[in-house]
Amino acid sequence: MNDVQAMERLGEARGQGLAAIETASSLEELRAAEVAALGRRSPVAEVQRSLGTIDLADRPRIGREVNRVFEDLRAAVAARRVALEAEAEADVALTDRIDVTLPGRRPPPGGLHPLTSTMRAVVDAFISLGYRVSEGPELETEWYNFDALNFPPDHPARLTQDTLYPDVPGDLLLRTHTSPVQIRTMEAQEPPIYVVIPGRCFRRDTPDATHLPVFQQVEILAVDEGLSLADMKGTLEAWARAMFGPDQRVRIYPDYFPFVEPGAGLDVSCFLCGGRGCRVCGNGWIELLGAGMVHPALFENTGIDPERYSGFAAGLGIERVAMLLHGVPDIRMFYEGDVRFLSQLARSA
Ligand code: PHE
């Protein structure tokens, strides 16, 4: 072999070797290309072996060129190996760390607070009986909360130990019940009136299992010609069955509130023992609401003719109804914000 042939061979070997190395698409292909370009049977190795047949004068130059081609090919193999290993690593990392067949993580669904869903159920039951929603302010005057409702001036409910009087101008208080909206509604509307009144109420109570200083009521008021105690009883029984089921037994007994005459209370049979008597209810009944026929004094206070119209009203505590519906033993659980409790009773809207 002469020097020209040797240089030509080396040039070809270099070009072919680099091409094979750089296009190797896997580590196996790269190893094959490496053996072909740098192994004992590679064209460069052949030239190296036949160096002895080259003129002594040309031999050092050809020898240096052999080494340079070897080096270039080795460098190309090393660079390609790094690239292929990085690719393989990235593939392994993806498939190992991420199971792309897993379903996505859903955000936890929101739900209605049990007091919200109970409030809506109570209001909806009266809406389905033909009632409309009426509302009034939480910050009330003494007139609407007490006087217009026929409370005498010395009634103990007015005392600061029962009623919260905020430090604001005017004779304002935080309403202790939703009944003042009876007055506001009768002032604003002509009979026939059939309204359901949801709202927050406030009393100066120390929190315990059945009392909180902030709670919610629903009031109902019906004023029309010829309404009697029988209408009140039928309406409340229909509501109780809609809320608690058709087997719910209801009893109505005399009670006193200054704004009704006669006044009544309504009990439902106990949700736990079914009316036989147990630790929760004692005698089989649970007190649920106050009610009665609208006192004529309220008609006089609002300009409605008591000779022509009569009416009935009722007020109930939403927390009490929710406790009955869900068997919750302590009213405070509704307000502690413990998701482990709330999520058991949450309803989607
Ligand atoms: N407002 C009364 C209370 O809070 C309930 C009630 C409403 C009673 C309507 C009779 C008629 O205790």
Q: What is the pLDDT of residue 95?
A: 67
Same domain as 34, residue 119: no
Of the listed ranges 146-160, 212-226, 235-249, the one predicted with least confidence: 235-249
Q: Best substitution site from 203, 257, 312 to test ligand 1's pocket, by max atoms within 8 Å of Cβ?
A: 257
Q: How confident is the model at residue 324 (pLDDT cuts 50, 70, 90)?
A: confident
Task: Provide mean pLDDT across the span 92-104.
Answer: 78
Percent of the chain at pLDDT > 70 equals: 99
Task: Tell me which H or E stretch contains 289.
Answer: strand 285-294
On whether both 220 and 279 belong to a single domain, the answer is yes
The verdict on the CB of residue 196 being under 6 Å from ligand 1 is no
Query: Closest by alpha carbon to 38, among 80, 74, 79?
Result: 74
Strand partners, 250: 268
Quote the CA–CA distance of 101 and 42 in Å, as a whole number: 47
Instruction: Tell which residue, 242, 264, 239, has the closest CA to residue 251.
Output: 264
**Integer Cα distance of 47 and 4 in angstroms:** 12
- pLDDT band, very low/low/confident/very high, at 176 (cuts 50, 70, 90): very high
**239 and 292 belong to one structural domain:** yes
Do 125 and 83 lie in a common domain?
A: no
CATH number at residue 167: 3.30.930.10
- Other beta carbons within 10 angstroms of residue 238's beta carbon come to 15
Cβ count near 321 (within 10 Å): 23
- Same domain membership, residue 160 and residue 209: yes
What spacing in Å lies between the alpha carbon of 295 and ligand 1's midpoint?
12
Quick one: DSSP state of residue 23? Answer: H
Q: Give the per-residue pLDDT at 302.
A: 98
Same domain, 177 and 248: yes
Q: Whose CA is closest to 212, among 122, 61, 334?
A: 334
Domain containing 153: what range?
A: 114-345
Q: Are 23 and 145 members of one domain?
A: no
Ligand 1 contact via 314 beta carbon (within 6 Å): yes
pLDDT higher than threshold 90 for residue 117: yes
Question: Is 107 within a domain?
Answer: no
Instruction: Label residue 349 by pLDDT band (50, 70, 90).
Output: low
Tell me the pLDDT tens digit for each residue of 265-295.
Answer: 999 888 778 888 887 778 989 889 999 999 9
Which residue, 97, 125, 156, sits at the end of a domain?
A: 97
User: Are 60 and 206 members of one domain?
Assistant: no
Is 305 contained in some domain? yes
Residue with CA at minimum distance from ligand 1 atom 10:
291
The confidence score (pLDDT) of residue 271 equals 73
120 and 25 in a common domain: no
Confidence of residue 88 (pLDDT cuts 50, 70, 90): confident
Do 65 and 126 belong together in one domain?
no
Question: 291 CB less than 6 Å from ligand 1?
Answer: yes
246 touches 336 (CB < 8 A): no
What helix, strand, coil percent values describe the chain, rounded to 5? Answer: 45, 20, 35
Question: Is the C-beta atom of 177 inside 6 A of ligand 1?
Answer: yes
